[in-house]
Structure 1
Amino acid sequence: MKKQILLLSTCLLLSSLCFAADFSFTKGQRSAADLALDVQRKGPQVIELTKVSSGMTVLDLLGGGGYYSELLAEKVGNSGKVYLHNNQAYMPYIEKELAARLKDNRLANVIRYDRETDNLELADKQFDAVFFILGYHDLYHKAEGWDINKAQFLSDVLGALKSGGQLVIVDHSAVADSKTKHAQELHRIDQQYVIDELTQLGLTLVKKSSILENKQDSRMISPFKPEIRRKTDRFILVFEKA
């Protein structure tokens, strides 16, 4: 159990390290830290794979410090909205970044949405798109303070997606056919498993992308090891709800 707690803490802590020394968010401009992250995360290109456009309402699910939320806020414009969701387990690691990003109503169309995963309080058919970035494997990760009811969680999220709405999944690739075997220790999940699971729940896979592919990644190393940090082989899946 202590090992699991340490793994989760390390996961959350490292997700915010790139911002540890720079919370310099300026109204109307993206930070230098965010721009640097674009090289490895390719957030703008990922969003261009989707139908997100002006006036839409988007959920950034377990969105951490809001890197994607800021990009989405620009895409949906003043007539759209972005809900930046986090749960309490994330707060010790991302709250400073989160507060700095949203300070003084800097992103007026971004709504800070703190809710536990078992009580998301989402409305039916509320969102045009949901972005779930580097978090799907955590539906299968268990630790003290972290135990998501996957069936309820997915039911709530998919129920909040409009007909024709899109669910975007980006995650660290596990070795083929390993399913959820490496979600606990390596924080990875098998791409085909995600496709099969969400297809069975009624979604249609409409797009895949290899822009975050790294063939040098063995897929048998934790994403938080320095030698592979932000350079993992990652898959991108875009699903659509009927």
Structure 2
Amino acid sequence: MRIRSNTGKIASVLIVVLSLLVTIPVAYAGDADALAATLSSGDRADADKVRDAGRKPAEVVTFLGVASGMTVIDLIAASGYYTEVLSVAVGEKGKVYAQNGAFVLKMREGANKNDNKELHRMTKAQAVKSVTDAGFEIVAEGEMLRNSEDDRAAYVFAEGMRGNTDRFVLKSRKP
């Protein structure tokens, strides 16, 4: 029996959902350079700073309009990489809620033995359909994580591929 997980699909939609729960834009909105400087000079772990090159957190957060004083949620926070980035972006007056479902906290027997290529390679069309089927509309598409050299054939966690996959960012809103 093949065990399927929605973790990959849900994680792909994470950035979309972050844009839905914001409230008061102020400081970093539109200023990715200022946020990037703050992220690189802070007390963040060196490993997270290295990951910034592929994840481009300042560009993503700025694109989504996350700024000082906002309240946001990090769905499927996992190890908290984006939770920390969002905390810097919203500042002392903002709030970040980090959420992890049981499927994130407990490995499922047999999951690592399956070909999970489909689960880790959600297409933009699939994400758009999921978001619009849930009653949201796409208001912008970010290109900052696109990688035209990724032919989508390699396992996303393979050495050299992790953090370098062709990804997309969707900003949506509930009409």
TM-score normalised by structure 2 residue count: 0.67
Runs of 4+ in structure 1 deviating by more than 6 angstroms, as ranges, are: none
CA offset digits 1:185-204 (Å, max 9, x no partner): 34111101211231232212
What's the counterpart of residue 58 of structure 1?
Answer: 72
Distance 2:110 2:93 in 1: 37
Distance 2:99 2:140 in 1: 24
State the one-letter code of the partner of 2:145.
L
User: Of 20, 26, 34, which aligns to 2:48?
Assistant: 34
Distance 1:234 1:69 in 2: 19
TM-score normalised by structure 1 residue count: 0.50
For residue 220 of structure 1, report the CA deviation from its aligned partner: 2.0
CA offset digits 1:146-167 (Å, max 9, x no partner): 8xxxxxxxxxxxxxxxxxxxxx
1:49 counterpart = 2:63: yes
1:90-129, aligned counterparts within 5 Å?
A: 90-91=104-105
Distance 2:104 2:135 in 1: 30
Task: Considering Cα pairs closer than 8 Å and 6+ residues apart, tell me whether 1 or 2 has the greater RCO.
Answer: 2
Secondary structure of 1:63's match?
coil
RMSD in angstroms over aligned alpha carbons? 2.7
Distance 1:4 1:224 in 2: 19
**Is the CA contact 2:3–2:110 (under 8 Å) kept in the aligned structure 1?**
no
Q: Percent of pairs identical after alignment?
A: 36
State the one-letter code of the partner of 2:53.
V
For residue 30 of structure 1, report the CA deviation from its aligned partner: 1.6
What's the counterpart of residue 82 of structure 2?
Answer: 68
Distance 2:95 2:65 in 1: 15
State the one-letter code of the partner of 1:201.
A
1:1-242, aligned counterparts within 5 Å?
A: 1=1, 4=3, 29-91=43-105, 184-186=116-118, 187-242=120-175
Distance 2:91 2:110 in 1: 36
The count of aligned residue pairs is: 135
Distance 1:224 1:91 in 2: 19
**Is the CA contact 1:203–1:241 (under 8 Å) kept in the aligned structure 2?**
yes
Secondary structure of 1:221's match?
coil
State the one-letter code of the partner of 2:147.
N
Distance 1:200 1:61 in 2: 19
- Structure (1 or 2) with the greater strand fraction: 1
